[in-house]
């Protein structure tokens, strides 16, 4: 059984986190999901639902997988040096690291994506990518895979990226079964990204 | 500002609830979302994330909108006569009632959908619809609108149904903006349902 640290911080974007949770949670016995936050206090999503963390960052950084959601408040979260240190330590140890939306920026500002290809939210792209200038930002992509890093475009794209990461780790048939079981039309082509054009990026 | 009672019960399906939360939450000042449960104790999703309710069912039933997610445990939830009474009272008062997946069965077993068209999860369809034989169950539909009731197919379909309900209440442009902002490809045709065929229902 693998373990996943699923990070939350105040104001995280609801679907950035819970879309991947649905897909990863459907792995059942294959994966133990642990919700991690800076402290054990309830963490509100941007839409106000309060989540109880299972572990605090002080409890350790030894997880097989790491998920980082985004949200407008990811920029605030990026200011915590304790959180940045935990992200670096956890990402260094993990075999796969997944980020959704501006969660990519939160990871990138630690330097972990320097020299790598990555993507993030398209509507905020021009405003956010200068915060991590040493990343090779991809303007049009539903998600980008570079080594152990899977970074996705905005909000809903997290589900497509997560299914790709599941396919990579557990086989494409497992990913397809989860998509089917959730009646989800998986965009399984990483280059599918109509939002880049609509945001004027290409 | 309208109010939404978003029901949770132990083992609710993660995306059934949080997909609609993303779309409805993005209405911002237009809508106040209140997470309601039988008691104020933390409620675990089927994937283990623990949610803190804002209100208990004993706190009242006066809400403009009602959302009922599904999950395998919806059948267990349906056995609570207190919860059934609250659902009937809240649904009677509300101007719109939305159900996702087997949340449709949870609503239907109260009798509230008798004589109406509705849909639910496709993989469990044959097993679950006999629990509410007086509903006109639609075998192939992403979602069904009948009067104030919006009922959706499985898990992911909740997002498409919710955007249709938002279009109905706040205008289609608002729904399209939310889909665009979340980089979500809205299946805006209620008859789009490839899963019905794959489940052998048509």
Q: Residue B33 and residue A49: Cβ atoms within 8 Å? A: yes
Report the residue from A24, A25, A155 with minimal CB separation from B22.
A155
| Predicted local distance difference test score (pLDDT) of residue B19 | 98
Average pLDDT over every residue of B129-149: 97
Q: Which tokens go with A67?
A: 């998920």
Q: What is the pLDDT of residues B31-68, one digit of tens each?
A: 999 999 999 999 999 999 999 999 999 999 999 999 99
- Nearest Cβ partner for A35 among B49, B52, B155: B49
Question: Cβ–Cβ of A19/B21 closer than 8 Å?
Answer: no
Which residue pairs, CB below 8 angstroms and at least 24 apart, start in B81-87? Answer: B82/B38, B82/B57, B83/B9, B83/B38, B83/B57, B84/B109, B84/B110, B86/B57, B86/B61, B87/B7, B87/B112
Choose the closest CB to A182 out of B45, B48, B155: B155
Give the pLDDT of residue B138.
98
The Cα of A93 is separated from the nearest Cα of chain B by a number of Å equal to 24
Mean pLDDT of all residues in B110-136: 96
Overall average pLDDT of the A54-79 stretch: 96
At A85-97, the pLDDT tens digits run: 999 999 999 999 9
pLDDT of res. A188 = 97
Res A147: pLDDT: 97
* Pick among 3.40.190.10, 3.20.20.80, 3.40.50.880, 2.60.120.10: CATH of B2-198: 3.40.50.880
Q: Which residues of B touch A (CB under 8 A)?
A: 13-15, 17-19, 21-22, 24-26, 33, 35, 42, 45-52, 54, 121-123, 153-157, 180-185, 187, 194-195, 198
What is the H or E stretch that residue A6 is in? strand A2-7
Q: Across all residues in chain B, what is the average pLDDT?
A: 97
Task: Give me the mean pLDDT over the A80-108 stretch.
Answer: 98
HSE (CB half, 13 Å, CA atoms) of A97? 23
Q: How confident is the model at residue A63 (pLDDT cuts 50, 70, 90)?
A: very high
For an interface test with A, give the residue of B12, B22, B29, B55 to mutate (most A CBs within 10 A): B22
Exposure string of A179-194, with b = 16+ CB inside 10 Å and e = fewer, is bbbbbbbbbeebebbe
Question: What pLDDT does residue A42 have?
Answer: 98
Whether A33 and B42 lie within 8 Å, measured CB to CB? no
Output the pLDDT for position B44.
98
B183/B177 Cα distance (integer angstroms) = 10
In this structure, the number of other CB atoms found within 10 A of the CB of residue A42 comes to 17
d(CA B101, CA B124): 9
Give the residue-averaged pLDDT of A173-182: 98
Per this entry, what is the length of chain A? Answer: 202
Point out the residue among B15, B50, B180 whose CB comes nearest to the CB of A51: B50
Alpha-carbon gap: A131 to the closest alpha carbon of chain B (Å): 21
Looking at the partner chain, which of B18, B155, B185 has a beta carbon nearest the beta carbon of A183? B155
Query: How far is the C-alpha of A194 from the C-alpha of A58, rounded, in Å?
Result: 40
ipTM of this model?
0.96
Q: What is the DSSP letter of B57?
A: G
pLDDT at res. B178: 98
Q: Do B25 and A19 touch (CB under 8 A)?
A: no
What mean pLDDT comes out for the span B93-115?
98
Asked if the Cβ–Cβ distance from B194 to A180 is below 8 Å, we say no
Architecture of domain A2-197: 3-Layer(aba) Sandwich (3.40)
pLDDT of residue A198: 92
Q: How many CB atoms lie within 10 A of CB A44?
A: 17
B122 interaction partners in chain A (CB closer than 8 Å):
183
Q: What is the mean pLDDT of chain A?
A: 97
- With cut-offs at 50, 70 and 90, classify the pLDDT of residue B95: very high
**pLDDT digits over A129-149, tens only?**
999 999 999 999 999 999 999
Contact criterion met (CB < 8 Å) for B156 and A183: yes
Calpha distance B168→B71 (Å, rounded): 26
pLDDT of residue B163: 98
pLDDT of residue B61: 96
**Residue pair A74/A106 in contact by the 8 Å Cβ criterion:** yes
Q: Which two tokens stand for residue A144?
A: 């980008």
- Kind plus residue range of the DSSP H or E element containing A128: helix A125-128
Predicted local confidence at residue B101, as pLDDT:
97
Are B184 and B176 a contacting pair, CB within 8 Å? Answer: no
């Amino acid at each position: 059984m693998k373990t996943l640290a699923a990070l939350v911080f105040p104001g995280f974007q609801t679907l950035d986190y819970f879309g991947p949770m649905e897909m990863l949670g459907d792995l059942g016995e294959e994966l133990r999901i642990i919700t991690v936050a800076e402290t054990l206090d309830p963490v509100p999503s941007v839409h106000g639902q309060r989540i109880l963390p299972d572990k605090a960052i002080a409890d350790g950084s030894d997880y097989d997988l790491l998920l980082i959601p985004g949200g407008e408040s990811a920029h605030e979260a990026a200011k915590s040096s304790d959180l940045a240190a935990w992200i670096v330590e956890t990402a260094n140890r993990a075999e796969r690291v997944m980020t959704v939306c501006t969660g990519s920026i939160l990871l990138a500002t630690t330097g972990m994506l320097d020299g790598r290809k990555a993507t993030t939210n398209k509507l905020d792209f021009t405003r956010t990518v200068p915060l991590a200038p040493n990343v090779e930002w991809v303007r049009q992509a539903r998600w980008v895979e570079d080594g152990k890093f899977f970074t996705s475009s905005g909000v809903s794209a997290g589900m497509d990226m997560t299914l790709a990461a599941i396919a990579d780790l557990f086989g494409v048939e497992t990913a397809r079964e989860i998509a089917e079981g959730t009646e989800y039309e998986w965009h399984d082509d990483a280059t599918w990204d109509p939002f880049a054009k609509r945001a004027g990026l290409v």
